[in-house]
Amino acid sequence: METTTALSADVLVIGFGKGGKTAAHALTDAGKRVILVEQSEDMYGGTCPNVGCVPTKMLVHYSNSKRLEDEAQEFFANSIEGVRALTSAFRAGNFEALDGKDTATVITGHARFIDSHTIAVGEGSDTITVTAPTILINTGSEPILPDIAGVRTSTHLVSSTDLIRAQDLPARLVIIGGGYLGLEFASIYRQFGSEVTILEAADRLLPREDEDVADVATGILIGDGITVVTGAEVTEVRDGEGSATISYRNGGDMHTVETDAFLAATGRRAATQTLDLGRAGVDTTERGTIVVDEKLHTTQPHIFALGDVNGGPQFTYVSLDDARIVIDQLLGDGERGTDDRVAVPKTLFITPPLATVGLTEREARERGLNILVARENVADIVAMPRAYTVEETRGVMKFILDADTDLILGAAILSIDAQEVINTIALAMRQRVTATTLRNAIYTHPSSTEALNEVLGKIVG
C-alpha cells in the first residue's frame, strides 16, 4: 500500500549547493524551520566540495608535486585517494553541520513540484511531500553533451566527475572544448603524465581574453606538451578495440586522433529538467534556465533561484553572493541585488593560473574609452622575486587603465599566485582606488602582489 508522509517548513531548499546551504544556515540561525532536499548523498555541500572546485584544485596541487622518479599510475592513484578522503570529510561535515541543527532537516531524494508551494520527494510508496511558504531552488547545472555521432554511446566518454573519481590514469586523453573546464583538466592530466589533446572549435583558445594574453597562456600549455588544435570541428567518435577514434575537420581537411578516454567539455546548462517547474508556475528560458529578477525572485515571488540554475556566472562565490541577496530579502531590508555586483574576478586554474577582472583591452577600445595599457612579462618583473623563488616565471600581467581618472578598468594576471593577486585588484576597482595608489603601496616581500609596484608603471600603449 502506498503511503505519503507530509511535512511542512518555513523554508524549503532544493539543492545542497553553496547558495542553498548558506541560506539554510542563516535561516535556521534566525529561528526558521528549514527542510533541505538533496537528490544524492554524494553531493552534500554541492558541486564545489565534491566534484568541482575542491577536488580539481587539489589535483592541481598534486599534479604539480609529481617528481620525475614518481611512477605516473601509482602517483595518480594515490592522489585520487587523497581527493576522496578530503571530499568524503567535507560531505560528512556539510551534512552534520546542517542536519544537526534543531530546526533543520536534510532529506535525500529527487524533488519535483506538485504545485507552487509543495514538492514530492521519491516515487511510489513512502513518498514524502514538503510544503513551505518560501522555496529556494539551488539545483546547479549539468554538462551538455554535444550532438556528435558516437559521443553518447562511446564507452570511452568520461565526465569531469569520472576523471576526479577514477584511479586509472588514461595514457591518452582528448578534450573536446577549450573552455575553463577543458583547459583545467588538460593542464592537470598533462602534469600527471597523460598525453593530452585539446580540440577547440574556435580559431584560438580563450577568445574572450585579449589575444596577447591568450597567446601566452596557449604557449604555456603547448610548452607543457599539450597538443592544441584550434578550428577543430569534431564530426564523429568511433569505438574500437580498447580505444576510441575521434574524427575532426580542420582547415578543410579531415583528421583523426586515437584516445583511451575523452572529455566533452562543451558547456553546462541549468539542472531543471526533472523539477516539473511548470506545475509551480516558474518560467524558464528555452535552455531550462530559471528566469529571475535582480533580487532572484522567479515568476513566483515566493520562489527564489540561486547559483548556476538562474543563469548567472557559474562560480561558487557568485552562488554565495546569491545567498546573501536572498537572505537580505527574507531577513534584512531587501535592498541587495545582482546589480550591486562590481568587478567580479575569475580564475582559470591552469599552471600557472590566469585570473581576470573587468574589461579587456579589446572591450575598452570597442567602447571608445581613453585608456592606457600597462603590461609586463612575469620573467621581466624585477620587483617580483617570488616567481623565481618558486621557479615559475612564465606568464604576463596586464592592466587596462582609464587615462582620465587613473582608475583600473580591467586586469589579466597570468602568473604564480594570480588567484590571490586578482582579489586585491578587484577590491581596488570596487573601492575606486587609483592605479597610482596601488603602484605606490607597500606590500610584503617576497610576494606576487609587489609586482604591482612595477607593472603599473610599465605603460606600453
Which pLDDT tens digit goes with each residue over 120-168? 998 777 799 999 999 999 999 999 999 999 999 999 999 998 998 888 9
* Residue 1 pLDDT greater than 50, yes or no: no
**pLDDT > 90: percent of the chain:** 84
Provide the residue ranges of all domains of the chain, joining segments of one domain with +.
4-140+269-340, 157-266, 346-455
Cα 297 from Cα 279, distance rounded (Å): 17
List of residues 6+ apart from 155 with CB closer than 8 A: 239, 244
Model confidence pLDDT, tens digit, residues 52-109: 788 888 899 999 898 888 899 999 999 999 998 988 888 888 888 898 999 999 999 9
What pLDDT is recorded for position 14?
97
Of 263, 79, 59, 312, whose CA–CA distance to 159 is shortest?
263
CATH superfamily of 4-140+269-340: FAD/NAD(P)-binding domain (3.50.50.60)
Phi, psi at 438, each rounded to 5°: -65, -40
pLDDT tens, position by position, 361-404: 999 999 999 999 999 999 999 999 999 999 999 999 999 999 99
Q: Which neighbouring-strand residues pair with 269?
A: 142
Task: Check if 157-266 and 346-455 are the same fold.
Answer: no
Q: How confident is the model at residue 3 (pLDDT cuts 50, 70, 90)?
A: low
Q: 360: pLDDT confidence band, cut at 50, 70 and 90?
A: very high
Is the predicted pLDDT of residue 232 greater than 70, yes or no? yes
CA distance 262 to 162: 11
Distances (CA, A) of 297 to 45, 302, 303: 23, 7, 6
Q: Is 110 a catalytic residue?
A: no
What are residue 145's phi and psi, to 5 degrees? -85, 130
Asked whether residue 51 carries a pLDDT value surpassing 70, the answer given is no
C-alpha cell at 126: 513512502
Give per-residue pLDDT as tens, 274-294. Answer: 999 999 999 999 999 999 999
pLDDT at 244 over 90: yes
Count Cβ atoms within 10 A of the Cβ of residue 146 and give its class: 0-12 exposed, 13-18 middle, 19 or more buried: middle
**Cα dihedral across residues 362, 368, 369, 372: positive or negative:** positive
Query: Per the residue annotation, which of 110, 255, 297, 445 is the catalytic one?
Result: 445
**With contact defined as beta carbons under 8 Å apart, do 41 and 162 qualify?**
no
Report the topology of domain 157-266: FAD/NAD(P)-binding domain (3.50.50)
Strands of the sheet containing 303-305, edge to edge, are 104-108, 34-38, 11-14, 134-137, 303-305
- DSSP conformational letter for 312: S
- Is the pTM higher than 0.95? The answer reads no
Distance CA 19, CA 11 (A): 14
What does the block give as the cell for 114? 506538485
Reported confidence tier of residue 48, pLDDT bands at 50, 70, 90: confident
Look up the CATH superfamily of 346-455: FAD/NAD-linked reductase, C-terminal dimerisation domain (3.30.390.30)
Give the Å distances, CA to CA, from 408 to 161, 340, 423, 427, 453: 38, 18, 13, 11, 14
Percent of the chain with pLDDT over 70: 99
Quote the pLDDT of residue 94: 86
What SS3 state is found at 443?
Answer: coil
